[in-house]
Amino acid sequence: MGTRADELFDYVQERCLWQFHSRTWDREQNIAGIIAKAQDLLAGREPAAETPAERCFVADAKVMVADFRSRFPWIREAPEAEISEALNGLRDRLVDLTIARSRNHELTHTLY
């Protein structure tokens, strides 16, 4: 499954900027929110969009999911558990790269 998460990760790194917010908590919320909304969309569920943040997550997830479906044919036929595993792997890699291993000290700077 790692290769499927890798495919999704490569796409997100090439095409999306939403994982690069200026604070650690912003990045965590954005990554988790968009991945969760994408998971709902790929499972055929209507994601909640009650707050402005949720509406933003849904908007970004819709674009990403449409591209996933057109670029990765396996995602249209994969069972929900397999898609969930790939998206969880994507989320974990994004958090690792953009937060845990980030050298950007502004992410946690108290005065910025």
Residues of the chain predicted below pLDDT 50: 1
Q: What's the pLDDT score for residue 53?
A: 94
Burial class for 44, CB neighbours closer than 10 Å (0-12, 13-18, 19+): exposed
Question: What residues contact residue 4 under an 8 Å CB cut-off, 6+ apart?
Answer: 72, 74, 82, 85, 86, 89
Q: How many CB atoms lie within 10 A of CB 90?
A: 25
Q: What's the pLDDT score for residue 1?
A: 47
**pLDDT-above-70 percentage for the chain:** 89
C-alpha–C-alpha distance, residues 91 and 39, integer Å = 11
